[in-house]
Amino acid sequence: MGHIPKVVCLNGNGIGQYCDVVRIPRKGETAIPRNLRYVQDSGKGVNNAIVIGRLGGDVAYIGKVGKDDGGALNESWLCASGVNTEHFWQQEGVSTSLGLILLAENGENMIINFDSPGSDITLEEAMPHLKACAGAEYFLTGFEIPVDVALTCAKEAHDLGMKVFLNPSPIEGAGDLPEIPYVDTMCVNEAETRILLEMEEVTDWEDAASRLCERYKVKNVIITLGGDGALAHGERGDGRVQGIPVKLVDESGAGDAFMAVVVQNLIWGKEIQEALDYANKYCAFLVQKSGTEGSISKYLWPEEMREVLEKYR
pLDDT for 217 beyond 80:
yes
pLDDT per position as a tens digit, 241-273: 999 999 999 888 899 999 999 999 999 999 999
- The pLDDT mean for the chain works out to 94
Between 282 and 1, the more confident residue is 282
- Among 27-31, 93-97, 261-265, which range has the highest average pLDDT? 261-265
In the chain, pLDDT over 90 holds for what percent of residues? 79
CA dist 80 and 302 (Å) reads 14
What is the model's pLDDT at position 280? 97
* Range 78-102 average pLDDT: 93
Interacting residues of 194 by C-beta distance below 8 A, sequence separation 6+:
200, 201, 202
- Torsion 111-115-118-124 (CA) sign: positive
Enter the pTM of the model.
Answer: 0.90
pLDDT for 228 beyond 80:
yes
* Range 53-78 average pLDDT: 96
pLDDT for 178 beyond 80:
yes
CA dist 260 and 55 (Å) reads 10
What is the model's pLDDT at position 206? 97
Reduced 3-state DSSP string for the chain: CCCCCCEEEECCCCEEEEEEECCCCCCCCCCCCEEEEEECCCCHHHHHHHHHHHCCCCEEECEEEECCHHHHHHHHHHHHCCCECCCEEEECCCCCCEEEEEEECCCCEEEEECCCCCCCCCHHHHHHHHHHCCCCCEEEEECCCCHHHHHHHHHHHHHCCCEEEEECCCCCCHHHCCCCCCCCEEEEEHHHHHHHHCCCCCCCHHHHHHHHHHHHCCCEEEEECHHHCEEEEECCCCEEECCCCCCCCCCCCHHHHHHHHHHHHHHCCCCHHHHHHHHHHHHHHHCCCCCCCCHHHHCCCHHHHHHHHHHCC
Interacting residues of 301 by C-beta distance below 8 A, sequence separation 6+:
54
* Range 108-137 average pLDDT: 90
Q: Cβ(256)–Cβ(142) under 8 Å?
A: no
What is the model's pLDDT at position 200? 92
What is the model's pLDDT at position 56? 97
pLDDT per position as a tens digit, 147-176: 999 999 999 999 999 999 999 999 999 988
What is the model's pLDDT at position 101? 84
* Range 35-54 average pLDDT: 93
Task: Select from 3.40.1190.20, 3.40.50.2300, 3.10.450.40, 1.25.40.10 the CATH code of 7-14+43-96+117-311.
Answer: 3.40.1190.20
Q: How confident is the model at residue 1 (pLDDT cuts 50, 70, 90)?
A: low
What is the model's pLDDT at position 2? 84
pLDDT per position as a tens digit, 102-116: 989 988 888 887 767
What is the model's pLDDT at position 234? 98
What is the model's pLDDT at position 252? 84
Q: How confident is the model at residue 313 (pLDDT cuts 50, 70, 90)?
A: confident
* Range 115-144 average pLDDT: 93
pLDDT for 277 beyond 80:
yes
In the chain, pLDDT over 70 holds for what percent of residues? 99
Verify cis geometry, omega within 30 degrees of 0, for the bond prior to 170.
Answer: yes
Q: Cβ(8)–Cβ(136) under 8 Å?
A: yes
pLDDT per position as a tens digit, 288-312: 998 778 889 999 999 999 999 999 9
What is the model's pLDDT at position 99? 80
